[in-house]
Structure 1
Amino acid sequence: MNRLAKRTCYRIATSLIASLFLSISAHGAPPSNAPLNHNLTCGNPLDINSVLPTTHTVALAGTGFAVEFGLNSNYGGAITKFKITNTSAGGGADVIEARSTAGGGIQTGYAIYPYDPPGASILFNQGVGNSLGKQWGFGSSIVAGATSTTSYVNSSDWTPIYNDSYFSSAGNTGVSPCEPSNAYTNIFDDGALDFAMAQASTNAGTALLMTHQYSWKSRVNQYWRVQYHYHALYMSRSVARMGNLRMYVHYPTGIDGPIYPYNSMASPTNSHTLCGGSTVVYCTHPSSDYIVLVWNIFGLDVGVAVQMTGGGAQLRLEKDKPYCNDANNDGCGEIDIQVVSPNNIDAAFPQSSIRSYPVNYRIGTIPQLAALGFFIQ
């Protein structure tokens, strides 16, 4: 592990971070009896690599920088834009990879492993999908609001959550509600988005606090051998290289980093490669509590701290998925980071119960993040 430096202020910083997490007023899930949104959009084979248009924006400024998130309400509220601007230089960059947004951008989902058949698993995205080569998504009625110090969007209704993929010993089967239902089609929940940002004053200037929360309401009584949530960030590899993206993984004992995910996407030590799989090139130890992603935006280093939600959650850095076949062309790939919750063994969700998975971001310059208790060295 690089830069192992024990911090006597760790417990103090953790306490500070915990108090800051409470400072964003989450709107929460819609009422259980809120209507169901049946508006289904079915794409065509030509749109699989396209970026979905932004229908709603969440934007706010800190000291020296500004952030703009865009989302598409016709595709489950999936994030279509994450632009960071250096307000002094006047230049900015959209750091996420939003092509094929129904399976990219920023979104939250979950996976289940049923008791029967053994070895099967089912993947659910945020009311969207693209596994059959076409983007599809259910609508979400969005309520938006902003003040001088806050900005938010949240769903006022529920979105049907169909699975996008079904994995078994026979392989991966793509699923879409735009096609006739078959033995691999599943729906157990409806979902809703809650997304908010707020300013936070520090002795180094104003930083931003952001929470992306997704909630699910169970349609039926559910019992699963294993269940977990994931929060995925698909980042542009070409922008990462231009902005010299560095990733730092924080542990109670020190920091692993810098990791340059656009170069072979591997840790300099690989000392925490614990979760296997042919696509996973780096997986954090459960004791990790946050990561910091740092881009240089027209001369200003801006960091995004992502909290490992739920205690023991892991970050998985996965191999980029190809949009074309040139290994030397950054535009042919992406950087896939997933914040994965601990496994819920023998999971049980009663009918009409609501569960939520919040992921907390803190955005600011390196001194601002340090003032909030997030460090890169």
Structure 2
Amino acid sequence: MKNKIRFLLIVFVLLLQQFTARSEGLNSDTWIYNPMDYPSDIESLVITGGISSDIEVKIGLSKKMSGITAGLSLNGVNVIAGKSAAGAAWQTSYLVKDPANNDIYVFNQAAGNSTPFSWGYTNYFVKTPGISLANTNWVLNYADHKHPKGDFGSSEVLCPGYGYTSIAVDEGRERIDLSKIPVLAGNVIKIKNSYLHKAVVNQSWSAFSLEKAFYMNRQVAHDKDLNVYLGYYDGSSTNIYKVYLGGADYSVPSNIVYQEQTVPNKSYKIKSGLQYAVFVWQISGKKIGVAIDIPNSLPFSFDGAHLNMERTAYGSNPNDYSNGNISFHPWIVNKAPATFHQGDVNDYYMNYYVGTPEQLGELGYKTETNSTDSNILFLDDFNCPGSGGDANFEYAARQSGAAAPIQYQVVNGPITVTNAGPNAGKLNVLSGAGNLSYWNIANHNFNESGNFSVECEVDRLDGADNFHWFEVSIGCNGAWQNPEDNPAYPGFSIRLWEQGQLVTYTNGNAAPLIDQTFNGLKVSVNPTIKVRIVVSQPDFSGSGDAKIALFINNKALPLSAANHPYTLVLPGGFKNNYINFRVGEANINFDNLKIMTPTSNTITTTTWTSDTDSDIYYTNSYTHVVNLGDTADITINNKTFTGAGILATTGSNWEIRTGNASALNQFTGRATNVDPASGNLLTNFLYPSANVASSLTLTDLDPGYKYVLTLYSMGFENGNRNSYFATSDGAIITVVNQDEFGLGNGQLLTYQYTADTDGTFSISTTPINAGWHLYAFSNQKSISIPEFVPSGFIVFGVMTLIKFKLK
């Protein structure tokens, strides 16, 4: 203990001397100038001709704030969040743990997390144009804040001056090196970001962790459609996971994060299997990516990376994208214990690569996937590399997903695959007149996730609408069974019947044939049928109900003749999920069998009081803006909702259907607490009779683009008007209470999705106790920020304090 006390006394004496001698170099400010302009306190370095002759990469280091990188411009667009030195920019941070009392000190290259201003030291640079930019002076690193006794929930303010105190035991020096790596098409620009770390005293810590923080501008992320591709090694292969960062929400796949260190929609710590991350922006019509290589060999010891989104870092309105940032924090050095001797110098660096996704892929930083559908359990596209054979020919080579490879069991055929002719890349099933063909996924029960969807495509080859021509069964308890033939067999089946009809079976019991003919199911209308069955249930223990929804060609279909629900509830749920298929008296091609966990998108609701919080802006791009149950056009924030007509259920590229094909009714003159113009959307509405289900389908969307659907409504009473909501992209089936905010109070129901290849999207609602009222809807192709300053937030030309704390 005496040695520890002596050590700390020596440290503090040295620190006092250092601070007295150098305090005149300490700068305090509340912002960093916009590095897009690179004013006098930003030293810049430019390199061109990397991706092609018209690409410019520009890096700016702060002269005032300890050399942090305040700007990274790609073709004139600065992607770095440089509004503050505290919890922003591109800088090095580290944590140490005091062995005497377990206090954790947080040191940043420049800081201000715990003070009402940013602070750092003056820097001097030497520059070789187009090649390097480096500090010529060492800069003291003072602790920014402290977590007493290792408690991250508690924090103490630290700062070397301005009425505060702090400690420093190290100095640092920043350096940037640029170079070009030739690839097949042009060059990739390599950025080496180095931070030299020098101990100014002898020191020992029970733990030392260092990160290279990369803060990105959230407004730019939104405007330039930012995605990140995470290359993750699972022990046998590297899988690629795509996460969209340009929207209001985000989610990282649960299988690659530490659950105990996850704050949903805010902070995810990715596991140490991460190999690289590629951030891709769409800039002036060109995709430009920054690949971040994760060092995994000594002296580095990677221990995961945080991917965070802050929404109110600079202001109180989370919907204003300029108030937040997106940050990536790879922890590249982790030592326990750690000892440094006075004068020790360590170079902590990371390599970053700038190029198109194709160029970065040549270096091994791939963005094509398995990444687009990171939630795939099993995918078979039947594209066999060999000449062809039975259903299991080259099955391992053509399958992907966490559960692959899996063989099929063929009960009756013939069922084959080939890579030639009109049936190439498909499972060819020739049942023929009077015959049945059966096949199934053998010996694998897809119970990895209680929530899942099953999807496949079927092409009719013979052009006839034959009796029971195609069937898919889920929730079975064995490699093969006929759920409709024996009530002892559990499971759920859908069978496509002749002339566009449909029948379902639950636990071996046939429901009555759906008393409708669906024109879209007729072979003469749609020879290609895309089936998706969506199931939501807690697990496979039999303790919770299963909710089931069906979409064919991305349109909702009812699942029973009894009240015609779009979501069917199976009490007790499934205990099994063996999946079986049958073709009756028909010849088909079967393709793209996909079993998935749900999309990361979720249905959300928020209160709505006026035009101000309507999230309606004329600068937004909308495909649909519709006022239902009314002929009047309503204008809100210079955006006009077109009156559809009193009882209209169709319009330009949209359609509303009811589960039993009955007409909707109009209700008029309802009072509302929403004002001013927004309230005009709520006075009239459409409603189905007797708790009948309804669905909304949007068409002519751009495949692969992201959209946000909003349903505008209000509480009809002080009660619970609950409905199940299901979506054609396979999100978790969700219960929503339309009366959530009370009688007359507005509700915004929003859902973000990606348009499928056919440009069609549907959402369905099935009443639990009362029908859903339909007032108005919009479909937005992109999200714009509000054009007003929120009440109580006044802009003075300086940025407010970032409250982010290192995890």
Normalized against structure 1, the TM-score is what?
0.81
Partner residue, 1:70: 60
Distance 1:267 1:327 in 2: 17
**Does the 8 Å contact 1:37/1:159 carry over to 2?**
no
For the structure 1 residues 71 and 373, does the alpha-carbon distance in structure 2 shift closer, same or farther, using more than 3 Å as the test?
Answer: same
1:354 aligns with 2:345: yes
Distance 1:259 1:126 in 2: 29
Deviation at 1:205, TM superposition (A): 0.9
Distance 2:159 2:311 in 1: 20
Distance 2:203 2:249 in 1: 37
Q: Which runs of 4+ in 1 moved over 4 A?
A: 36-39, 48-54, 277-280
Moved more, 358-367 or 304-313: 304-313
* Residue ranges of structure 2 left out of the alignment (5+ in a row): 1-20, 369-807
Q: Secondary structure, in 3 states, of the residue corresponding to 2:274?
A: coil
Deviation at 1:55, TM superposition (A): 2.4
* Residue ranges of structure 1 left out of the alignment (5+ in a row): 1-35, 86-91
Partner residue, 2:221: 240
**Does the 8 Å contact 1:132/1:176 carry over to 2?**
yes
Partner residue, 1:199: 180
- Pair member with larger Rg: 2
Deviation at 1:245, TM superposition (A): 0.4
Deviation at 1:277, TM superposition (A): 5.8
Bigger share in strand: 1
Deviation at 1:175, TM superposition (A): 1.4
For the structure 1 residues 228 and 143, does the alpha-carbon distance in structure 2 shift closer, same or farther, using more than 3 Å as the test?
Answer: same
Partner residue, 2:84: 100
Moved more, 213-222 or 164-173: 164-173
Given candidates 277, 281, 292, the residue that maps to 1:306 is 292
Q: Secondary structure, in 3 states, of the residue corresponding to 1:355?
A: strand
Given candidates 307, 327, 337, the residue that maps to 1:336 is 327
Matched to 2:146, the amino acid is Y
Given candidates 44, 58, 61, the residue that maps to 2:45 is 58
Partner residue, 1:371: 362
Distance 1:165 1:157 in 2: 24
Identity between Structure 1 and Structure 2 (%)? 23
Partner residue, 1:15: none
Partner residue, 2:201: 220
Partner residue, 1:163: 143
Moved more, 162-171 or 289-298: 162-171
Moved more, 257-266 or 107-116: 257-266
For the structure 1 residues 327 and 129, does the alpha-carbon distance in structure 2 shift closer, same or farther, using more than 3 Å as the test?
Answer: closer
Partner residue, 1:5: none
Moved more, 199-208 or 251-260: 251-260
Partner residue, 1:316: 306
Normalized against structure 2, the TM-score is what?
0.39
Write the deviation string for residues 34-66 of structure 1: whole angstroms up to 9, x where unpaired.
Answer: xx976524335xx24864755211111213321
Q: Secondary structure, in 3 states, of the residue corresponding to 1:282?
A: strand
Q: Secondary structure, in 3 states, of the residue corresponding to 1:230?
A: strand
**Does the 8 Å contact 2:252/2:268 carry over to 1?**
no
Write the deviation string for residues 1-49 of structure 1: whole angstroms up to 9, x where unpaired.
Answer: xxxxxxxxxxxxxxxxxxxxxxxxxxxxxxxxxxx976524335xx248
**Does the 8 Å contact 2:31/2:83 carry over to 1?**
yes
1:266 aligns with 2:233: no
Partner residue, 1:284: 270
**Does the 8 Å contact 1:43/1:134 carry over to 2?**
yes
Matched to 1:76, the amino acid is S
Write the deviation string for residues 175-194 of structure 1: whole angstroms up to 9, x where unpaired.
Answer: 11123454xx2110011111
**Does the 8 Å contact 2:311/2:319 carry over to 1?**
no
Partner residue, 1:123: 106
- RMSD between superposed Cα atoms in Å: 2.2
Q: How many residues matched?
A: 328
Distance 1:155 1:104 in 2: 20
Deviation at 1:201, TM superposition (A): 1.1
**Does the 8 Å contact 1:39/1:139 carry over to 2?**
no
Given candidates 115, 132, 139, the residue that maps to 1:152 is 132
Deviation at 1:70, TM superposition (A): 0.8
**Does the 8 Å contact 2:105/2:143 carry over to 1?**
yes
Distance 2:216 2:126 in 1: 27
**Does the 8 Å contact 1:163/1:175 carry over to 2?**
yes
Deviation at 1:232, TM superposition (A): 0.8
**Does the 8 Å contact 1:192/1:216 carry over to 2?**
yes
Distance 2:173 2:32 in 1: 25
Partner residue, 1:42: 27
**Does the 8 Å contact 1:50/1:101 carry over to 2?**
no
Q: Secondary structure, in 3 states, of the residue corresponding to 1:43?
A: strand
Q: Secondary structure, in 3 states, of the residue corresponding to 1:304?
A: strand
Moved more, 223-232 or 101-110: 101-110
Given candidates 174, 191, 195, the residue that maps to 1:210 is 191
Partner residue, 1:133: 116
Write the deviation string for residues 103-141 of structure 1: whole angstroms up to 9, x where unpaired.
Answer: 4111112111111213x2111111443520111111222
Distance 1:72 1:55 in 2: 5
1:178 aligns with 2:150: no
